Amino acid sequence: MMTRDDLNALLPFHANGTLAGAERAALDAALETDADLRADLAALCAIRDTMQAEETQSPGELGLARLMRDVEAESRTDMAPTAANDNVVPIARLRIWQVAAALVLAVGLGLNMMPDAGRAPDMDAEMSEAPAAAEQGFALASGGAADFTVIFAPDATEAAIRALLLEAGVEITSGPSALGLYGLGLLESGRDDAARSVLAASEIIDDLQ
Amino acid sequence: MDNDHKFLMTRIAGGDRQALAALYRALERPVYRFITSRLNDPHEANDILHEVFMDVWRSADRFEGRSKVQTWIFGIAYRKSIDVMRKRGRMDLTDETFEIVDDSPDAATCLAAGQEAEHVRHCLETLKDDHKSAITLAFYQDMTYGEIAEVAGVPEGTIKTRIFHAKKLLMRCLSGRVERGVA
């Protein structure tokens, strides 16, 4: 026999439609005779509807691009020692290698955060000679080549970017690079000229190549 | 739906990044909403979401398929959020709740009075984290109490108790705002 507290605890699961079996039957029976329970259920349904109607601005495609970049980087880190040591890597040595890689990465990040700090006089020249390496960032899992390279406006929201990508029939295939460049690839259904005109007309695209 | 997710998990365990992208697109919004509701900080939630899906990538081969994929991923998000709150030093780890007298008039009236979203948002924020999480998973994600128990790693009875108290406090808060005429 369920107590009134038991029934009250189950009400939210009646409101979200997940209650079943004997518990649902017992609660339905109580609802037929208890006006207070019915009022509580109505309120809970209204709360649920209100919560479900709330809009959420999630990271979306930008978050996916970040995820793919880090997955790619992690995969490269995992594969490098194996290739270099013919599949036989002592654990202690692997750890030292990983620590060294982390230090190199940390120094690299530090340099990125402070562009002028510690830069050799000819480093700018080297970067200009190898723009692909400096700006490439990462490639999406699809491995698709970028048909366009863009820079989004600094105040572009994820929702606006998502809507633009859908409208143009493209997806982010790489980026962000250190310079904020994103590569966009045409979806199977997309057409180059149509996509280009949509991107060119957009207010959230600062630069289109 | 869950069979689709399980198929994707199998592919992810085999190193398929396209499958990871597909699973991310399917679940990032609800997972992000759940994390945001707990942390109340979109930037921090962004980072936690990223970490959750990195964990999915790293440990997909450990997913045994006994639970829904969504439940498993929300469990990761739940634990990572707790870690953040512990670091912030504002984590209340007990289930103790002050006894309250349920003297609410009619909470449904409150929700018919307009500005529902603002009232609900405000009142959710007044709840303790474990109460808020239970209500959030029940009403945002339409989870069963069994699934919520799995996400939180506690017995089903504990979730029923949390929901019971959360419901009372939520109703009381909503009714109080109507009585005070909070706009």
Give the per-residue pLDDT at B44: 92
Q: Which residues of A are less than 8 Å from B170 in CB distance?
A: 47
Residue B10 has which token pair?
A: 């199998």
Per-residue burial over A78-103, b if 16 or more Cβ lie within 10 Å, else e, is eeebeeeeeeeeeeeeeeebeeeeee
**pLDDT-based confidence at residue B109 (cuts at 50, 70, 90):** low
**Residue B84 pLDDT > 50, yes or no?**
yes
Average pLDDT over residues A24-38: 94
Chain-chain contact of A64 with B21 (C-beta, under 8 angstroms): yes
Chain-chain contact of A52 with B139 (C-beta, under 8 angstroms): yes
Write down the domain spans for chain A: 4-53, 58-88+120-209
Give the per-residue pLDDT at A132: 42
**Residue A127 pLDDT > 80, yes or no?**
no
Domains plus CATH for chain B? 2-88 (1.10.1740.10), 107-180 (1.10.10.10)
Do the Cβ atoms of B163 and B134 come closer than 8 Å?
Answer: yes
Least CB–CB distance from B117: residue in A10, A54, A64: A54
Residue A67 has which token pair?
A: 């995820």
Give the per-residue pLDDT at B81: 94
Give the per-residue pLDDT at A20: 93
Q: Which residues of A are less than 8 Å from B73 in CB distance?
A: none
**Residue A82 pLDDT > 60, yes or no?**
no
Amino acid at A195: A
Query: Who wins on pLDDT, A48 or A140?
Result: A48
A205-208 and A148-152 strand pairing: antiparallel
User: What residues pair up with A170 in beta bridges, in sequence order?
Assistant: A186
CA separation (Å) from A136 to A69, A126, A154?
11, 15, 20
Give the per-residue pLDDT at A209: 84
Chain-chain contact of A5 with B32 (C-beta, under 8 angstroms): no
Q: Give the minimum alpha-carbon distance from B85 to chain A in angstroms, rounded to a whole number.
A: 20
Q: Give the minimum alpha-carbon distance from A60 to chain B in angstroms, rounded to a whole number.
A: 7
| pLDDT tens-digit series, residues B13-69 | 999 999 999 999 999 999 999 999 999 889 999 999 999 999 999 999 999 888 899
**What is the pTM (predicted TM-score) of this model?**
0.65
A85 touching chain B per CB within 8 A:
no
ipTM, interface predicted TM-score of the complex: 0.82
